[in-house]
Structure 1
């Protein structure tokens, strides 16, 4: 049964909450510093949850209300589509991007250009076969650096119970104006160390799938603290790269 948010009790709580925050906003101009700090903390916590709800709602409404499907391998115990492909982020685009610039709450762009001629933009999916409601387009003009990578932080859900017996899968759908080498690197931080597994995406493929077998990464399973995915673009100058969809999954490794 579909979840509903418009019961009488829901509407009553909404009116009370809205009136409360309207009153707080009216009185904020005369409040002391201690009260303002408390108001700011509560407001940020509330805004974070509102932004989460709006992100999911707008992403699903972009597909007519349907939830976007995620490819799920047999026996997978975790799947994930990053927010850049699942719902709108603000701002929807960046230009003349400095290195380490954040795009949404999960992604950052890294490069070593002296003068950035890079743009990133979230675009709404319009293709009949597109599963993700949004895609990400990167335009690269003059490029005087030696590396360019889009980094995605994996959520805590993907780290819980992560062991060397897991295989992490990456499914990506992309288009480029001209062929380009693209590498995917999975990084797992455990204690003071970081293990890295690198795979090359098939060149020119619209849809590609690569896997990272953690049996080849010497991780301390009890000290896994974080993980992130690097998409590394080789020789990206004068190119447009459209990543229509990106999902990740995790499944137990088949026993030998």
Structure 2
């Protein structure tokens, strides 16, 4: 019964959407003779329709991208009290690709790219994961040809819930699955901003670990926990020229350090 009702609702919504598209198309055919008021209404209706379609398609793409669901599935670790997979790896983003990548660009709500290369030979693209062992629906591809700059950084801003209760007893752990055309060193830097100051901890991504990881033990950091208003991770790719790096997955988690 529930399945039949869902189909009926789906068919009704489909017919309603088609009627709106056809009505807008019909009005657009007479744009030359329509009043400005009618055209503005048509434009507003078209934008609303496009927004509704985008929301629907995003949900469908996310589900189809990983039929088993669970885009937020993260392997639990002892002492873990927070975990997160950024949207570059958990859901579709728009635009899906950027080429050539500008020196600074927003890739998603929490993702950015920075570099100082003037050649314009960097391409970024979100791609679907297809492997049977993939826990997440999307990967993020960084492809570099000529590179004359000094740094290429992928930045991930941590959400507000990662900062709630953050203290020196915590360890921030980054896990990544990465495929490269040639070996490359990748560094991760945790940035904690409190007031006018920013504490930074840099670690090289251990690519011999399974999965590759980097840990930031806050016991050795100098920061005022009650004043932190922003935190982010920089991923630096050393000498990235003529390389194709596919970040199959990236997750961040917060662990409470074991005390003896």
Q: Same fold (TM over 0.5)?
A: yes
- Write out aligned runs for 1:1-256 (5 A): 30=37, 55=58, 58-68=61-71, 69-203=73-207, 207-256=211-260
CA distance in 1, matches of 2:187, 2:153: 9
TM-score by length of 1: 0.80
Query: Which runs of 5 or more residues in structure 1 are unaligned?
Result: 32-38
Contact 1:112/1:148, CA 8 A, preserved across alignment: yes
| Structure 1 stretches of 4+ moved >4 Å | 5-8, 49-57, 203-206
Q: What is the rounded CA distance, in whole Å, between the counterparts of 1:229 and 1:90 in structure 2? A: 21
Q: Is the 8 A contact 1:180 1:203 kept in 2?
A: no
Question: Per-residue deviation at 1:55?
Answer: 4.4
> Where does structure 2 lack aligned partners over 5 or more consecutive residues?
28-35, 39-43
Distance 2:171 2:212 in 1: 16
Quote how far apart the aligned CAs of 1:95 are: 0.4
* Deviation of 1:157 (Å): 1.4
The offset of 1:59, in angstroms, is 2.0
The answer (yes or no) to whether the contact 2:79–2:257 under 8 Å persists in 1 is no
CA deviation digits over 1:142-201, x for unaligned, max 9? Answer: 000011110011111111111121111111000110111100111111111111111111
Aligned positions, number: 241
CA shift for structure 1 position 126: 0.6
**Contact 1:167–1:213, Cα closer than 8 Å, also in 2:** yes
Aligned residue for 1:34? none
Contact 1:89 1:104 in 2 (8 A): yes
Question: What is the alpha-carbon distance in structure 2 between the residues aligned to residue 88 and residue 118 of structure 1?
Answer: 21
The structure number with the bigger radius of gyration is: 2
Do the aligned partners of residues 65 and 202 (structure 1) sit closer, same or farther apart at CA in structure 2, a change above 3 Å counting?
closer
Q: Aligned partners of 1:215 and 1:52: how far apart in 2?
A: 42
Secondary structure, counterpart of 1:207 in structure 2: coil
> Alpha carbons of 1:103 and 1:252: their partners in 2 closer, same or farther (altered >3 Å)?
same
